[in-house]
A = this chain, B = another copy of it.
């Protein structure tokens, strides 16, 4: 039990922080309700996938600077393929784009493994390449999205007989949870997942324990690409278009990974923490808007909150270690 608390302490702390922020939000804006929560979840969606993409490579001891560019490329690809096409065609587009993310991610991983160039350099280079490719696909924002895809993140899930509760379960949340769990849970329980943690913790020790280091690293990057493609699709689904210029997802993903208690050295942490961290960061943004804070100050506040939370966490961790 104490072990569980110790291990999940950080995530628990973040959850508490999130709830406190929700209460504060209600105090600022007494009318804040289920609809607004739905908006929050939809805002979280692309960030959450970006963070998932970053988390998995960070756990594997790497970093992926191309997350944002990958999202842009997959987003414009999806939007331009669906432009003028039938509703059914989207049934083909979605798996195609996901596969594209998987392959591009795997290419990242292969470049790192084969050339032995540091990950930060390779993904920096692919950032430029993917960004250029996105502009080649669509020179300006455009394209469109199938209606049924757009509908999957609008509204709430109807639980018969429980209208009260179901109003608080936006479809976007269900989609997010399903997409993350369908990959993360089997991964976590498999030897592949263990291997990803192992190469992140110590590549040498993992190699000596018989882990196929190169293959595991490539798979980690491929899964990261898959999550990034989901993020790109989420962008297209929520905006209805594809935009070739990467949004602020790279820095945000690194920030949330850190805030979520995943050590940047690798080998530690999980997916839940960073996802909760994304919710926290988005809710902070909501509160800053609700409070009508001077827009030039919000960046400072967001930065300060990040230092404060991580510092506080470090402080707690140190105290825990001493006692």
Interface residues of A (CB under 8 A from B): 65, 111, 115-118, 120-122, 124-129, 131-133, 135-136, 139, 251, 254-255, 258, 264, 296-304, 306-307, 310-311, 314-315, 318
Q: Contact: B136 with A258, CB < 8 Å?
A: no
This chain's copy number in the assembly:
2
A124: contacting residue among B255, B298, B301, CB under 8 A:
B255
Q: Contact: A258 with B131, CB < 8 Å?
A: no
CB A128 to nearest CB in B, in angstroms, measures: 3
Q: Contact: B255 with A306, CB < 8 Å?
A: no
Q: Contact: B124 with A251, CB < 8 Å?
A: yes
Q: Contact: A132 with B307, CB < 8 Å?
A: no
- The complex places the Cα of A304 from the Cα of B126 at a distance, in Å, of 8
Q: Contact: A296 with B132, CB < 8 Å?
A: yes
- The complex places the Cα of A131 from the Cα of B295 at a distance, in Å, of 12
Q: Contact: B264 with A302, CB < 8 Å?
A: no
In the complex, residue of chain B having the shortest beta-carbon distance to the beta carbon of A310: B117
- The complex places the Cα of A135 from the Cα of B299 at a distance, in Å, of 9
- Chain A, interface SS category: helix
CB A210 to nearest CB in B, in angstroms, measures: 25
Q: Contact: B318 with A264, CB < 8 Å?
A: no
Q: Contact: A131 with B307, CB < 8 Å?
A: no
Q: Contact: A296 with B135, CB < 8 Å?
A: yes
Contacts A126-B303, A128-B299 aside, 6 further interface pairs with beta carbons under 8 A come to: A111-B307, A115-B311, A121-B255, A125-B306, A127-B303, A129-B303
Q: Contact: A299 with B139, CB < 8 Å?
A: no
Q: Contact: A118 with B296, CB < 8 Å?
A: no
Q: With a CB–CB cut-off of 8 A, which chain B residues contact A117?
A: 307, 310-311, 314
In the complex, residue of chain B having the shortest beta-carbon distance to the beta carbon of A259: B121
Q: Contact: B115 with A306, CB < 8 Å?
A: no
A121: contacting residue among B300, B301, B307, CB under 8 A:
B307
- Given the known interface contacts A258-B118, A264-B118, the answer about A306 and B124 at a Cβ–Cβ threshold of 8 Å is yes
Q: Contact: A306 with B128, CB < 8 Å?
A: yes
